[in-house]
Structure 1
Amino acid sequence: MGDTYESVTVDVEGHVAQVTLIGPGKGNAMGPAFWAELPEVFGSLDADPAIRAIVLTGSGKHFSYGLDLAAMGGTLAAVMADGATAKPRADFHAHLKTMQQSITAVADCRTPVIASVHGWCIGGGVDLISAVDIRYASADAKFSVREVKLAIVADVGSLARLPLILNDGHLRELALTGRDIDASRAEKIGLVNDVYDDAEASLAAAHATAREIAANPPLVVNGIKDVLDEQRTAAVSASLRYVAAWNSAFLPSKDLSEGITAMFEKRPPEFQGE
């Protein structure tokens, strides 16, 4: 893997690759480089027969703060303009589908992916881990499907994939409140498989599982993923298409402007339903 990326590093040891989120946004926030590079990274790992398992983690104190709103604001600007007509909405729809495909590249990777989460995993971070096969966390990990607090319907994977991971009531509680949950709660509701004392222990466990998978016959491992994924591919795809159309129509709102402004001003938003 001689490629150099702006948003991740890729390190290979034996048959296991580690993909580490590195930003460049604060808290490994997901900016333009992340969305552009993720399909390339996972596509090249998927195509490499020597790579039999992938560990996904974040650098620094956090897994990911989610979408880098400051860096990605231009995506919203045109569709937020007063009286935005078909062209800006169509452009937004196309851009959103490209972002969805970035996360789908992780889900579609034939090589099993194990996430090790520490610190914050917010919004887009949850979209990302919903696309992996196995999730581990450190005791300090915190998770939030926070889009609702910005007046956004989560649209790049969480609402499509979490129904296949979580009990319906638990998912609705997370998505409708936008609340933060800790690692023990995440484990209780099945968002993560296991919780470890710290980031190092969680990452070590992810690598141990990756090596265990990598020792199995690779074509059969691919086959197991393929058969399991067959049960969800159509449902996930339909959900992603639907939310892309829904958000292209209904995302622009005064509440969205208020939610984003309030976040940057670090004050509680006042939503009016407009």
Structure 2
Amino acid sequence: MTAHIYQFQTLSVDVSSDGVARVEVNRPEALNAYNTQTWTDIGRCFEQIKHDGAVRSVVLSASGRMFTAGLDLKEALTGPLGKRPDSGDDAARRGYYHRLFILKFQAAISTIEDCDKPVIAAVHGACIGIGIDVISACDIRVASADAYFMVKEVDIGMAADVGTLQRLPKVVGNNSWVRDVCYTARKVSAKEALDVGLLSRVLPSPEEAMAVAVDTAKAIAAKSPVAIASTKHLLNYSRDHSVREGLEYTALWNTLAHNSHDMAVAVMSSLKKQQAQFPNL
């Protein structure tokens, strides 16, 4: 199989031999603010990872001082968000164009959730606006003690429109808290984010947060890729359906998944007290 080559303008990507892909947003000079190129790269990257059998899990982080300052406001005013087709004062045509742009943006961020491989966000410093959209699409979130979070969109006169309002209530499970932070755009500390369930762990430093994220990714990568992909898919399905629907769908899904050789490999390795070795998907 031909090895995948990951080359992006705003991302650094490294895939190690243990199956862990490290994806780093790399716009430190702009405080990792997301411009059109950034979210386009995110969409392309995670779509590529989804089809790369050599990748078993992903760590998503950012370079420089912070995870992200949010949307690139300079581009928002002068780039695609600020441009309109030559439609004069026709609000319907302007709205149609803008809707297509938002849908494309949403689809790019949703590739993180749709990727079969678990994605672990390692957050340090500020995680503002689009950063919440991104990490709420991830499977697991860890952060350093200096991290803080802000659903900032109301402060620029808009509602968050790329996933925060849809995913954050299901990630946290406290509707009152979600409305509080989304209405006020207040600063949320790492400790508070841990207390409400947005994070699974808080570490003293960015380096320690990254180390925990990588160790978690390695532990996941050592498991059966069939079992991991199935578990992620079924968790996502069950989140959006009733318990009964989730159970019925799981029974149907596992009718096929139980035919995997990975089950026999896992059982035999356990009996022999050996580390199981599973082929890539």
TM-score (norm 2): 0.79
The answer as to 2:134 corresponding to 1:161 is: no
What corresponds to 2:82 in structure 1? 77
Does the Cα contact within 8 Å between 2:28 and 2:63 map onto a contact in 1? no
SS at match of 2:66: coil
3-state DSSP class of the match of 2:161?
A: coil
The answer for the alignment partner of 1:122 in structure 2 is 128
Q: Does 1:105 align with 2:111?
A: yes
2:95 maps to 1:89:
yes
- Match for 1:20 among 24, 28, 33? 24
Percent of paired sites with the same residue: 37
* Match of residue 72, structure 2, among 65, 68, 73: 68
Once the two structures are TM-superposed, the CA of residue 156 in structure 1 deviates from its matched residue by 0.2
Residue in structure 2 matching 1:40, options 41, 44, 49: 44
Equivalent position of 1:52 in the other structure: 56
Structure 1 SS opposite 2:122: strand
* Corresponding position: 1:204 with 2:207: no
Contact conserved, 1:23 with 1:31, CA < 8 A, in 2?
no
Distance 1:138 1:110 in 2: 26
Could you tell me how far apart the structure 1 residues matched to 2:108 and 2:143 are?
23
Q: How much has 1:27 moved relative to structure 2? A: 0.9
Single out whichever of 94-103 and 226-235 deviates more from structure 2.
Answer: 226-235
Check the 8 A contact 2:28/2:64 in 1, yes or no. Answer: no
| Equivalenced residues, count | 234
Alpha carbons 2:20, 2:57 under 8 Å: kept = yes
- Opposite residue 34 of structure 1, the aligned amino acid is T
AA in 2 matched with 1:5: F
- What is the match of residue 201 of structure 2? 194
Residue deviations 1:54-104, cap 9 Å, x none?
A: 00000011001111111132333356x995511111000000000000110
Equivalent residue letter for 1:130: S
User: Displacement of 1:233 after TM fit?
Assistant: 5.1
**1:153-197 C-alpha deviation (Å, 9 max, x unpaired):** 000000010111111111111101100111111111111111001
> What is the root-mean-square deviation of aligned Cα atoms in Å?
1.8
CA contact (8 A) 1:25 1:31 kept: no
SS in 2 for 1:54: strand
Q: What pairs with 1:111-260 in structure 2 (closer than 5 Å)?
A: 111-166=117-172, 167-232=174-239
SS of residue matched to 2:31:
helix
Whether the 8 Å contact between 1:22 and 1:59 is mirrored in structure 2 is yes
- Deviation string 1:118-151 (CA, Å, 9 cap, x unpaired) is 0000000110000000000000001000111111
SS at match of 1:115: strand
Q: Which residue of 2 aligns with 1:29?
A: 33
Task: Give the drift of 1:44.
Answer: 1.0
Q: State whether residues 15 and 21 of structure 2, in contact with CA within 8 Å, keep that contact through their aligned partners in structure 1.
A: yes
Which of 1 and 2 has greater Rg?
Answer: 2
| Alignment partners' CA distance in 2, 1:231 and 1:83 | 45
- SS for the counterpart of 1:153 is coil
State TM-score, norm by structure 1: 0.81
Residue identity opposite 1:15 in structure 2: G
Change (3 A) 1:33 1:78: closer
Once residues 142 and 6 of structure 1 are traced to their aligned partners in structure 2, the CA distance between those partners, rounded to angstroms, is: 27
